[in-house]
Amino acid sequence: MKAIRFWFLVFLQIFIVLQGCNKKFNDYYNPESTLGRSILGVLEEKGGFNDFLGLIDRVGLQKSLSESAIFTCIAPKDEFVKAYFIDHLKYPSLEQVPDAEVRAYINYHFINGMYYTYDLEKRYRSATSEINKSRITNYRTRTEGKQPGKNIRIYSPSFFEIQSADFNFLYGKEGSAGFYIDGVAISLEEHDIDARNGVVHILKEALFPNLRTDLAIAKDPDLSLFSTWIERHAQFVLGEVDENGVLDTNLYKNFSFGRNLADENTLSTLFAPTNAAITEYFKPYMGLIDNTLDSVPKHVMYSLIRSSVHANLWYPSDLKRNQPQWSALTGFISFGNPALESITGYTAASNSFIYKTNRVMESPEMSSVLSGILMMYKKYSQWYWMVKNRGLGSGIIDALFYQHSPKTLLVQSDEIWGSPFAQDMDALTLEARLQSCKAGVFHFDVHADGGFKRRFYPTDYGYILFENNKLIDYSGNSVGLVQSEPVWVKPTGAIFEIDGFLKPIDKLDPEQTVWKKIKAQSDLSRFAALVEKAGLLAELQLTGFFVYSVFAPSNAAMLAAGIDPAKVNVTDAKAIVNRHIVTNRYLFTDGVFNGQLTNKNGENLQFTGAWNTFRISTNKSTASVLNTLMNQQGSNGVLHEINNVLLAN
């Protein structure tokens, strides 16, 4: 008996708690109960929705919207339907609206799933972070066949407690404590109406379907130039083959710049430059592009579009709070552009936030020295082609952070390039020309250094000597500057024009090693014999990751030091040779480096002076480089002949 009484009390307590929760839930939204009717039945019973229901009947969607799924209907009254089709789209009557537009309008007012205002509020409050709260405001409308649903934003009272400034910016008005769909209010008196297949909220104003991104941009007169850029990168593809082997012959729009703005399922944020911003950006370059913006190279448009497009939806507050986490297709544009300060307006779209800006968002590519090739494509069309098709611009820019290492480009005009042009060359000739071009890419900003000086300039294909107004490669081949001033300057470097092609060194060439250069010099025969005695020949012949600066004593220096390779044992031979080699370093006599380095024995060597005053010293000896054999560049290092044998410290 006691057990029965115990369980009775437990069940009674649970019942009281549940009733309390139910009362609290019902008090919150107090739905109007019409469970016997479908959504369309609810609207018919309420009245005032004859136009909306008539359009549904006309296109045969009665059954689909009554039985096929669960929906949240955002119901427009008769005057709102007319406001869209007749007042906004200027159709003479509803009967003249094409069926396709009717279906799209109807589907826009049906959201997949059932959301009471209680659910809308709960979803926003339950989001675990501020960015998730923003993202949770996005909902999808009904999909029909191959016609995708659209994205709409629904705002609950909690949104205005946290992000009211976002609403004000996007829609240009204050939001009250109620619920809004893309800036349009839901009736405070007529919402949360139950139906057999969902829930109905009555609109307080007309809700106009937003255009997808590319169409919204085309509709905005301030963005007509940007729209032209985008459309130049549009492409159309056939649909897929279905399970029955039938090809969908519809053409679907896509874009070649890496994000499909025509896809309702692809959400983006754009910093779209206005016509005035684009005009101002290209004003200094009009002489290069025939004084018309239509002549802007397609690749330049491509580069700048990509720096304007970001993945996902970012409200203004998200952008400010999460900078620089929002990243364009080209990288983190905030490192190179005052993006937030440039926003001047907003254009609504279904699948994106489009922020209008008073400046072009410059890509890392266009902020680098490579931009000169892209803009001067008429004079340097072969370089332009090689950049686009052969990766000639690789390594010149830092795509993520705008922190480009300094570069100098030595380029040839089309006249110097000669015939055949790059696209007509055979594969071997084209590859050789590519390496010759890369031999003119210096990892150094000559312009910022005050212009060319007598020194060795580093490239990925050897060092280039500038001397007597000539640029000289490892082989002794020389070219001249067409003019001393650069033809293009950016903060990260400059472009100079030259009258020929430099010869690139092959870092894997076994016939150009420092060992081969030592063997080729009769005045270094004693040092060569010492290398062989020490067993270091193979090492000095290695290529790839191995680099050596070799300071080889002349035969006279070896004789003066009393060193006879035939009489020196292996251990001493190895110590002598290694004392004259610095690894992992190219050391030239141009005076760029002065200081202390360690040789292969681990002993310190001191380097001082430049050219004729260049010296290498230990604590007990000093040697000078002989002009007859200095700065001999090989595939794996550089060779100098010196006039004295270096002694151990």
DSSP character string of 233-285 = TEEEEE--B-TTS-B---EEEEETTSS-TT-TT--EEEEEEPHHHHHHHHGGG
Inform me whether the pLDDT recorded for 623 exceeds 70. Answer: yes
| Residue 247 binned pLDDT confidence (cut-offs 50, 70, 90) | low
Inform me whether the pLDDT recorded for 35 exceeds 60. Answer: no
Inter-residue contact 332 to 324 (CB < 8 Å) = yes
Are residues 474 and 588 both part of a single domain?
no
Are residues 480 and 544 both part of a single domain?
no
DSSP state of 405: P
Q: Which residue has the tokens 């009665």?
A: 62
| Residue 4 is assigned to a structural domain of this protein | no
Q: How far apart are CA 582 and CA 479, in angstroms?
A: 31
The mean per-residue pLDDT over the stretch 373-394 comes to 93
The mean per-residue pLDDT over the stretch 285-289 comes to 90
| Residue 22 binned pLDDT confidence (cut-offs 50, 70, 90) | very low
Inform me whether the pLDDT recorded for 450 exceeds 80. Answer: yes
What is the structure's pLDDT at 256?
Answer: 92
Which element (helix H / strand E) includes 638? strand 637-642
Q: Tokens for 29?
A: 């939204």
Q: Which of 35-44, 55-64, 379-388, 563-572 is the least confident region?
A: 35-44
Which is nearest to 490 in space by CA: 411, 412, 405, 414? 405
The neighbouring-strand residues paired with 120 are: none
Are residues 404 and 518 both part of a single domain?
no
| Residue 28 is assigned to a structural domain of this protein | no
Q: What pTM was estimated for this model as a whole?
A: 0.83
Q: Tokens for 329?
A: 């297709």
Helix segments in 439-524, DSSP class H: 514-520
Q: How far apart are CA 322 and CA 326, in angstroms?
A: 7
More confident residue, 9 or 124: 124
Handedness of CA 144, 200, 129, 271 (dihedral sign): positive
| Residue 30 binned pLDDT confidence (cut-offs 50, 70, 90) | very low
More confident residue, 394 or 200: 200
Are residues 187 and 45 both part of a single domain?
yes
The mean per-residue pLDDT over the stretch 271-280 comes to 98
Inform me whether the pLDDT recorded for 391 exceeds 80. Answer: yes
Q: Tokens for 50?
A: 């004859």
What are the backbone dihedrals phi and psi of residue 505, each rounded to the nearest 5 degrees, phi first?
-90, 140
State whether residue 295 is helix, strand or coil. helix
Are residues 423 and 300 both part of a single domain?
no
Last residue of a domain, one of 475, 497, 519: 497
Q: Tokens for 293?
A: 């913006």
Whether omega before 92 lies within 30 degrees of 0, making that bond cis, reads no
What is the structure's pLDDT at 272?
Answer: 98
Angstrom distances, CA of residue 270 to CA of 149, 250, 343: 21, 28, 11
Q: Which of 5-9, 284-288, 422-426, 434-438 is the least confident region?
A: 5-9
The Cα diameter of the chain in Å comes to 120
Looking up residue 421, the CATH number of its domain turns out to be: 2.30.180
Q: CA end-to-end span of the chain, whole Å?
A: 105
Q: How far apart are CA 109 and CA 34, in angstroms?
A: 20
| Residue 238 binned pLDDT confidence (cut-offs 50, 70, 90) | confident
Q: How far apart are CA 638 and CA 625, in angstroms?
A: 13
The mean per-residue pLDDT over the stretch 297-303 comes to 93
Inform me whether the pLDDT recorded for 429 exceeds 90. Answer: yes
Inter-residue contact 460 to 395 (CB < 8 Å) = yes
The model's pLDDT over 326-369, given as tens digits with 9 standing for 90+, comes to: 999 998 998 889 999 999 999 999 999 999 999 999 999 899 99
Are residues 454 and 559 both part of a single domain?
no
Q: How far apart are CA 570 and CA 134, in angstroms?
A: 75
Looking up residue 331, the CATH number of its domain turns out to be: 2.30.180.10
Kindly report the number of other CB atoms within 10 A of residue 378's CB atom.
13
Q: Which of 7-21, 188-202, 210-224, 281-295 is the least confident region?
A: 7-21
Mean pLDDT of the chain: 91
* Torsion of the alpha carbons at 160, 165, 166 and 169, rounded to the nearest 10: 130
DSSP string over 455-504: EEEEEBTEEEEEETTEEE-TTS-EEEBS-SS-SEEETTEEEEEBSS-PPP
| Residue 392 is assigned to a structural domain of this protein | yes
The mean per-residue pLDDT over the stretch 136-157 comes to 93
Inform me whether the pLDDT recorded for 303 exceeds 90. Answer: yes
What is the structure's pLDDT at 29?
Answer: 42
What is the structure's pLDDT at 6?
Answer: 46
Are residues 638 and 515 both part of a single domain?
yes
What is the structure's pLDDT at 16?
Answer: 42
Q: How far apart are CA 165 and CA 163, in angstroms?
A: 5
What is the structure's pLDDT at 79?
Answer: 97
Q: Which of 48-57, 242-251, 422-431, 469-478 is the least confident region?
A: 242-251
Q: How far apart are CA 404 and CA 397, in angstroms?
A: 5
Percent of the chain with pLDDT over 70: 94
More confident residue, 210 or 241: 210
The model's pLDDT over 173-198, given as tens digits with 9 standing for 90+, comes to: 887 779 999 999 999 999 999 999 99
Are residues 432 and 530 both part of a single domain?
no
Inform me whether the pLDDT recorded for 1 exceeds 60. Answer: no
Are residues 596 and 457 both part of a single domain?
no
What is the structure's pLDDT at 246?
Answer: 72
Residue 225 sits in which domain range? 213-236+252-357
| Residue 25 is assigned to a structural domain of this protein | no
Which element (helix H / strand E) includes 169? helix 157-171
Which element (helix H / strand E) includes 434? helix 427-438
Inter-residue contact 128 to 306 (CB < 8 Å) = no
Percent of the chain with pLDDT over 90: 82
Inter-residue contact 498 to 412 (CB < 8 Å) = yes
Domain count across the chain: 4
Inter-residue contact 374 to 387 (CB < 8 Å) = yes
Q: Which residue has the tokens 């001397």?
A: 467
Cα–chain center distance at 44: 52
Are residues 270 and 197 both part of a single domain?
no
Kindly report the number of other CB atoms within 10 A of residue 537's CB atom.
14
Are residues 183 and 83 both part of a single domain?
yes
The model's pLDDT over 540-554, given as tens digits with 9 standing for 90+, comes to: 999 988 899 999 999
Q: How far apart are CA 639 and CA 202, in angstroms?
A: 86
| Residue 31 binned pLDDT confidence (cut-offs 50, 70, 90) | very low
| Residue 285 is assigned to a structural domain of this protein | yes
Q: How far apart are CA 293 and CA 140, in angstroms?
A: 38
| Residue 413 binned pLDDT confidence (cut-offs 50, 70, 90) | very high
| Residue 381 is assigned to a structural domain of this protein | yes
Are residues 419 and 466 both part of a single domain?
yes
| Residue 470 is assigned to a structural domain of this protein | yes
Handedness of CA 580, 584, 585, 586 (dihedral sign): positive
Inform me whether the pLDDT recorded for 7 exceeds 60. Answer: no
Q: Tokens for 484?
A: 């001393």
Last residue of a domain, one of 334, 357, 380: 357
| Residue 415 is assigned to a structural domain of this protein | yes
The mean per-residue pLDDT over the stretch 497-518 comes to 96
Contacts for 15 with CB less than 8 Å, ≥ 6 apart: none
Inform me whether the pLDDT recorded for 17 exceeds 70. Answer: no
Q: How far apart are CA 262 and CA 213, in angstroms?
A: 6
Inform me whether the pLDDT recorded for 600 exceeds 70. Answer: yes
What are the backbone dihedrals phi and psi of residue 41, each rounded to the nearest 5 degrees, phi first?
-65, -40
The mean per-residue pLDDT over the stretch 574-601 comes to 95
Inter-residue contact 387 to 368 (CB < 8 Å) = no
